[in-house]
Structure 1
Amino acid sequence: MTEDLLHKVNQIRVWKPETVIEIENPDGFRLIGKGKQGAVFQIDERRCVKIYYHSKSCQRELHTLKLGAKAGICPEIYYWDTQFIVMEYLTAPTLFDYIQQNGMTRELSERLVTLLDTFEQVGFNRFDHSARHIFIMPGDSMKVIDVVHMIKPTPVYLAKKLIGDMGMYGHDFVNFVRELSPKWYGHWSNHWEFEEVMSQLR
């Protein structure tokens, strides 16, 4: 990063006085999104910066991003400090948007099974992720963002968010996974909340 760009990033303030994230962005970087941990800004054509209101969240996500980046499932990391991480800005469609346009296929389900297997291989143990935070990259790969809570004290096997975000296509996805991966289908179907998750798909 150039000194000028680093100076501009350091001028952004993100804080959380109560339950809502507050932002001061004097250089007018485009706000991509904000959530419980902080806010994300696009700083140029290929990079964005996630600024955290709490340094612990920053360090936790940095750790998981590094694990995922080694396996090619998280954005490339360019720079970090105690309160922010500069990373690759993803322009590919999200899984959520992709499904709305193309529906669910066996091939896409197979790619998602591979992604879950990769979660396990890199040390993630929360095997659930929002379809809005999964990007369909060129070729066969996928990348995920917002990974601060991907390592939990107790494994999370039921993919409630992932399946739920698919709406009516969630049924197709689960049926494909039943054929493709008895392991993941078994984790889901044996969970006490599975039937409720499936009943809520619209």
Structure 2
Amino acid sequence: MSKNSDYYIELNNKVEKILKKCEFLGSGHNGIVYSINNKKVIKIFKYKKVCQKEYSILKKTKDSKYFPDVYDWGDYYIIRDYVGGERLDKYIKKKGFNKKIAHNIIKLIKEFERLHFNKLDIRCKDLYVGKNFSLTVIDPKNNYSKNVIYPRHLMKGLNKLGALDEFLSVVKDEKPDVYEFWNLKIREYLDKGIK
């Protein structure tokens, strides 16, 4: 997350007490994240609407192993599980890509379908790699409101990391029914030179 803390939000006393004991983890376009302890974080949002949308997604995905559990929320904050591990893009840069990660990405997209997401996509920086190459989504956005029918941003990120061909090779072996479509769509996208 980038440093972006130039806004003020009035929070209730309970949240302010929690924040006094927290450790800053990072900030991004939509808010700031603090560690409450090694099991929970609190995310403070700039905008009420963004907070409500993220909470709505996390509420609908509460039975999924790919999303953190939520413990509390308000107009401008969510308290949820701390997600350990390493960001997917950083992990690949340090340790490379492997078939187990590819397999788990395929399972994640299948889970998106099970959850009736309209957006079957995620950015590499919004996925964390944990023990046994498990994946957890940390920043769900527009999953029910935006229509993306294949993992475009994910594959674009894998391409930048030099892992796209290896990923698609695993897709071809495990899900030949979607391989042709995904491969065609990402090649068209990349050939257009869209940045």
TM-score category by the smaller chain? 0.7 to 0.9
Structure 1 gaps, min length 5: 13-26
Distance in 1 of aligned mates of 2:191 and 2:39: 38
The one-letter code matched in structure 1 to 2:148 is V
Distance in 1 of aligned mates of 2:96 and 2:188: 22
Distance in 1 of aligned mates of 2:150 and 2:190: 9
Per the normalisation by structure 1, the TM-score is 0.76
Change in CA separation of 1:169 and 1:92 when aligned onto 2, cut-off 3 Å: same
- Find the partner of 1:171 among 162, 165, 175: 165
The one-letter code matched in structure 2 to 1:83 is Y
- Note the alpha carbon deviations across 1:146-168, whole angstroms, 9 max, x for none: 10322224x20232321232211
Structure 2 gaps, min length 5: 1-11
3-state SS of 1:32 partner: strand
In the TM superposition, structure 1's runs of 4+ consecutive aligned residues that sit over 6 Å from their partners are: none
The one-letter code matched in structure 2 to 1:180 is E
Per the normalisation by structure 2, the TM-score is 0.79
Given that 1:96 and 1:132 are in contact with CA atoms closer than 8 Å, whether structure 2 keeps it comes out as: yes
Counterparts of 1:68-147 in structure 2, within 5 Å, are 68-139=61-132, 141-147=134-140
3-state SS of 2:15 partner: helix
Change in CA separation of 1:198 and 1:95 when aligned onto 2, cut-off 3 Å: farther
Fraction of identical pairs, as percent? 23
Aligned-pair RMSD on alpha carbons?
2.6
Given that 2:100 and 2:133 are in contact with CA atoms closer than 8 Å, whether structure 1 keeps it comes out as: no
Change in CA separation of 1:197 and 1:69 when aligned onto 2, cut-off 3 Å: farther
- Note the alpha carbon deviations across 1:10-49, whole angstroms, 9 max, x for none: xx7xxxxxxxxxxxxxx48433232332222222222111
Distance in 1 of aligned mates of 2:65 and 2:137: 10
- Note the alpha carbon deviations across 1:67-100, whole angstroms, 9 max, x for none: 2231111111111112110011112122222222
Given that 1:158 and 1:194 are in contact with CA atoms closer than 8 Å, whether structure 2 keeps it comes out as: no
Change in CA separation of 1:66 and 1:139 when aligned onto 2, cut-off 3 Å: farther
How many residues align structurally?
Answer: 180
Question: Aligned pair 1:162/2:154, yes or no?
Answer: yes
- Find the partner of 1:188 among 179, 182, 185: 182
Report the alpha carbon displacement of residue 115 of structure 1 after superposing the two structures with TM: 0.6
Given that 1:94 and 1:135 are in contact with CA atoms closer than 8 Å, whether structure 2 keeps it comes out as: yes
Change in CA separation of 1:31 and 1:149 when aligned onto 2, cut-off 3 Å: farther
Match in the other structure for 1:15: none
Distance in 1 of aligned mates of 2:138 and 2:151: 16
Change in CA separation of 1:188 and 1:42 when aligned onto 2, cut-off 3 Å: same
Change in CA separation of 1:123 and 1:136 when aligned onto 2, cut-off 3 Å: same
Distance in 2 of aligned mates of 1:151 and 1:80: 20
Distance in 2 of aligned mates of 1:145 and 1:170: 22
Change in CA separation of 1:45 and 1:198 when aligned onto 2, cut-off 3 Å: farther
